[in-house]
C-alpha cells in the first residue's frame, strides 16, 4: 500500500503541476461561460437595421392590413419605452402586383434584390388563402429569404396574416361580438414538476414549474462534466503507460513494485486528478449559483451519486486504458487503439437527447444497467425531473462496482505480462492471451 501511495503521489503531482493542466482547468470554464455570455449578448443585441420587404398579394385582402400593422409596429414596438433606444428593426413594406406573364422571372428578379441586400425577404400570398382546402394550389403564404427556415422575422408575418384571415372568416359568420372575443383564446400548457409531501414537516410542497434548465441543462452539464473528467484523467493513462514501457521506466519500477501496485498507483493518480477537477468545477458552480441567488438549480442530493459514479468510472476506464497502454510499443500503436478504446466512453454522448427525452423508457433503462455506460447514462436519467425507481441507481452502482473489479483484474493481468513484452502488437488475440492464458 505504501508503494502504491508513492506511485500515486508522483502520478498525481506530475499531472496537476503541469502548466497545461492548470491552463485547461482555468480555460474550460472560461470558454464555457464565455460562449454562454456571448450567446446571451448576441441574443439580446438584436440586429436593429430596418428591413425591407416586398409583398405580392394575389388574394388582395391582406396587403392593406399588413401595411397598417407594420406601421403600427414601427411606431410602437421598435423603441424601448423607457430609454427611447431602438431595440427592434422597423419593417418597411413595398407592395407589388404579380407579373402574371412571367411569375418566375419576377421572383428571380426579386431574389437578386435580396442577394444584393436591398431586400430582406419577399412574401407571396396565394389567391385562395382565406379559404384553404378549396384549392391545393393557391392557398399558400410563402416567404422567400436567404436565411429561410431560420429567420425569426417570418413569425411576425405568420401571426399578423393569420390573425387577420381568422378575423375575416369570423366576420363572414356574423357572430355575436362577445363570442368573437373568446373564440380565439389560446391557452398554453404549463409544464409542471410533481408535488410532494415534506417528510419532516408534513407539509405539502407545491409542484414547481419545470423548465429547460431542469429538464435539459442540468443532466447535460453533469454528463459532459463526467465525460470531460474521464478524458482528462483516465484516457491519458494509455499513452503514459506506453511511454513508461518504451522508455524502459517500467522495468526499473518493476524491480521494486508489483505490476498490480504499479497499475494501481497510476490509475489512482488518474482518479485523484479527475476528482480534483470535478471538485473545483462543482464547487465553483455551487458557489456561483448561490451568489446569484439561484442555488436550488443544482441538485445537491445528486452530488454524492455523481462523485461515487465518477470515481468508479475513472477506475473502470483507467484500468482498461493502463492495460491497453501496456500492450503498446509506440505512438503508432496508441493511435490505432485509442479510438476503439474510447468508444464505450463516447457512445453515451451520442444518445444524450433520446435519454433526456425519455429517461424512464426501455432504451434508457437498459443502457443505464450496462456497466460501461451506467455512470453517464444513469447520471443523465437521475438528473432529469422524471422519477427513477430507487433500486435502479443502486443496482447500477453494484453492477459498476463488479465490472470495475473485473476490469481492474483483467487489466492487471494484461498489464503484468504486456509491460515486459516487446515488439508484440496490441491485437485482440494478444489481449486475450495476456488476460486469460498467462
Partner 1 sequence: MNIIEIEDVTKRFGSVVAVNTLSLNVPKGSIYGFIGPNGSGKTTTIRMIMKIFYPDGGTIKINGKPHDGRRLNNVGYLPEDRGLYKKMKVHDVLMFHGELGGGSDLKNKIAYWLDLLDLSDYASKKVETLSKGMRQKLQFIATVMNEPELIILDEPFSGLDPVNAEILRESILNLQKKGSTIIFSTHDMSMAEKMCDNIFMIYKGEKVLDGTLNEIQDQYGADTMVVQSTGGEAILQGIQGIEKINNFGKLQEIRLRPEANPQQIIGEILKKTEVQKFEITKPSLNDIFIRIAAPERKEVNHA
Asked if 6 interacts with partner 1 (CB under 8 A), we say: yes
Q: How far apart are the C-alpha atoms of 57 and 128, rounded to whole Å? A: 11
Asked if 3 interacts with partner 1 (CB under 8 A), we say: yes
Q: How far apart are the C-alpha atoms of 427 and 405, rounded to whole Å? A: 23
**CA 113, 118, 120 angle in degrees (round to 5)?**
90
Among 256, 331, 387, 427, binds partner 1 (CB under 8 A): 256
Considering only the stretches 57-65, 209-217, 257-265, 388-396, report the one whose residues sit in contact with partner 1 under the rule CB under 8 A: 257-265
The dihedral of CA 353, 354, 357, 360: what is its sign? negative
Asked if 180 interacts with partner 1 (CB under 8 A), we say: no
Among 261, 320, 418, 426, binds partner 1 (CB under 8 A): 261
| Binding residues for partner 1 restricted to 308-367, rule: CB under 8 A | none
CB nearer to partner 1: give 14 or 211. 14
Number of residues located near partner 1, criterion CB under 8 A: 22
Asked if 437 interacts with partner 1 (CB under 8 A), we say: no
What cell does 9 get?
Answer: 503521489
Strands annotated E in 146-197: 196-197
Considering only the stretches 95-103, 175-183, 254-262, 308-316, report the one whose residues sit in contact with partner 1 under the rule CB under 8 A: 254-262
Among 112, 208, 247, 330, binds partner 1 (CB under 8 A): 247
Q: Which of 339, 323, 311 is nearest to 238 (CA)?
A: 323
Asked if 251 interacts with partner 1 (CB under 8 A), we say: yes
Considering only the stretches 23-31, 114-122, 245-253, 282-290, report the one whose residues sit in contact with partner 1 under the rule CB under 8 A: 245-253
Contacts of 225 (CB under 8 A, 6+ apart): 278, 281, 282
Mask of contacts with partner 1, 392-431, x by CB under 8 A? ----------------------------x-----------
Instruction: Kindly tell me the burial class for residue 288, based on how many C-beta atoms sit within 10 Å of its own C-beta (0-12, 13-18, 19 or more).
Output: middle
Asked if 254 interacts with partner 1 (CB under 8 A), we say: yes
Q: What residue spans of 190-258 are helical by DSSP H?
A: 212, 218-233, 236-246, 249-254
Considering only the stretches 8-16, 57-65, 120-128, 398-406, report the one whose residues sit in contact with partner 1 under the rule CB under 8 A: 8-16
Q: Enumerate the β-bridge partners of residue 209.
A: 192
Mask of contacts with partner 1, 14-43, x by CB under 8 A? x-----------------------------
Considering only the stretches 200-208, 242-250, 281-289, 373-381, report the one whose residues sit in contact with partner 1 under the rule CB under 8 A: 242-250
Asked if 123 interacts with partner 1 (CB under 8 A), we say: no
Among 131, 166, 169, 248, binds partner 1 (CB under 8 A): 248
Considering only the stretches 4-12, 50-58, 208-216, 307-315, report the one whose residues sit in contact with partner 1 under the rule CB under 8 A: 4-12
Q: For residue 339, give the 3-state DSSP assignment.
A: helix
Minimum distance between the CB of residue 353 and partner 1, rounded to whole angstroms? 41
Q: Which helix (H) or strand (E) holds 36?
A: helix 19-44
Task: Let me know: does 381 contact 388? Beta carbons within 8 Å.
Answer: yes
Q: How far apart are the C-alpha atoms of 270 and 264, rounded to whole Å? A: 10
Q: How far apart are the C-alpha atoms of 141 and 107, rounded to whole Å? A: 14
CA contacts within 13 A on the Cβ side of 295: 8
Residue 100 — φ and ψ, nearest 5°? -70, -25
Considering only the stretches 1-9, 60-68, 181-189, 370-378, report the one whose residues sit in contact with partner 1 under the rule CB under 8 A: 1-9
Minimum distance between the CB of residue 244 and partner 1, rounded to whole angstroms? 7
CB nearer to partner 1: give 257 or 302. 257
What cell does 286 get?
Answer: 455551487
Among 207, 249, 280, 394, binds partner 1 (CB under 8 A): 249
Asked if 10 interacts with partner 1 (CB under 8 A), we say: yes
Q: C-alpha distances in angstroms, 335 versus 319, 331, 417, 420?
A: 18, 6, 21, 20
Note the residues at the interface with partner 1 (CB under 8 A). Answer: 2-3, 6-7, 9-10, 14, 244, 247-258, 261, 420
Amino acid at each position: 500500500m505504501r508503494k502504491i501511495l508513492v506511485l500515486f503521489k508522483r502520478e498525481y503531482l506530475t499531472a496537476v503541476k503541469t502548466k497545461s493542466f492548470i491552463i485547461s482547468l482555468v480555460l474550460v470554464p472560461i470558454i464555457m461561460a464565455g460562449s454562454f455570455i456571448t450567446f446571451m449578448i448576441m441574443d439580446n443585441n438584436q440586429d436593429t437595421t430596418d428591413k425591407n420587404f416586398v409583398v405580392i398579394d394575389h388574394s388582395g385582402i391582406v396587403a392593406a392590413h399588413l401595411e397598417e400593422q407594420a406601421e403600427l409596429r414601427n411606431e410602437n414596438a421598435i423603441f424601448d419605452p423607457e430609454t427611447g433606444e431602438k431595440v427592434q428593426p422597423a419593417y418597411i413594406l413595398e407592395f407589388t402586383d404579380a407579373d402574371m406573364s412571367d411569375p418566375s422571372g419576377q421572383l428571380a428578379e426579386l431574389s437578386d434584390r435580396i442577394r444584393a441586400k436591398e431586400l430582406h425577404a419577399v412574401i407571396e400570398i396565394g389567391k385562395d388563402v382565406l379559404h384553404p382546402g378549396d384549392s391545393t394550389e393557391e392557398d399558400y403564404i410563402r416567404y422567400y429569404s436567404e436565411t429561410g427556415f431560420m429567420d425569426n422575422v417570418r413569425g411576425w408575418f405568420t401571426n399578423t396574416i393569420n390573425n387577420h384571415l381568422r378575423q375575416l372568416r369570423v366576420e363572414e359568420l356574423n357572430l355575436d361580438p362577445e363570442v368573437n372575443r373568446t373564440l380565439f383564446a389560446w391557452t398554453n400548457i404549463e409544464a409542471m414538476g410533481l408535488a410532494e409531501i415534506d417528510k419532516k414537516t408534513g407539509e405539502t410542497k407545491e409542484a414547481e414549474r419545470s423548465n429547460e434548465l431542469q429538464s435539459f441543462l442540468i443532466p447535460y452539464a453533469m454528463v459532459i462534466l463526467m465525460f470531460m473528467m474521464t478524458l482528462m484523467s483516465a484516457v491519458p493513462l494509455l499513452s503514459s503507460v506506453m511511454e513508461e514501457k518504451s522508455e524502459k521506466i517500467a522495468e526499473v519500477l518493476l524491480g521494486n513494485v508489483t505490476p498490480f501496485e504499479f497499475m494501481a498507483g497510476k490509475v489512482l493518480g488518474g482518479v485523484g486528478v479527475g476528482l480534483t477537477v470535478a471538485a473545483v468545477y462543482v464547487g465553483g458552480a455551487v458557489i456561483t449559483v448561490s451568489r446569484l441567488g439561484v442555488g436550488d438549480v443544482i441538485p445537491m442530493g445528486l452530488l454524492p451519486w455523481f462523485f461515487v459514479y465518477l470515481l468508479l468510472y475513472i477506475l473502470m476506464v483507467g484500468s482498461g486504458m493502463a492495460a491497453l497502454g501496456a500492450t503498446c510499443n509506440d505512438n503508432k500503436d496508441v493511435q490505432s487503439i485509442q479510438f476503439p478504446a474510447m468508444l464505450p466512453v463516447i457512445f453515451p454522448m451520442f444518445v444524450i437527447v433520446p435519454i433526456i427525452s425519455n429517461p424512464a423508457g426501455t432504451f434508457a433503462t437498459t443502457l443505464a444497467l450496462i456497466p460501461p455506460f451506467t455512470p453517464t447514462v444513469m447520471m443523465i436519467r437521475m438528473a432529469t425531473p422524471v422519477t427513477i425507481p430507487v433500486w435502479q441507481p443502486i443496482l447500477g452502482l453494484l453492477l459498476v462496482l463488479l465490472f470495475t473489479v473485473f476490469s481492474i483484474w483483467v487489466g492487471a493481468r494484461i498489464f503484468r505480462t504486456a509491460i515486459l513484452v516487446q515488439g508484440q502488437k496490441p491485437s485482440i488475440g494478444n489481449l486475450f492471451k495476456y488476460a486469460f492464458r498467462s
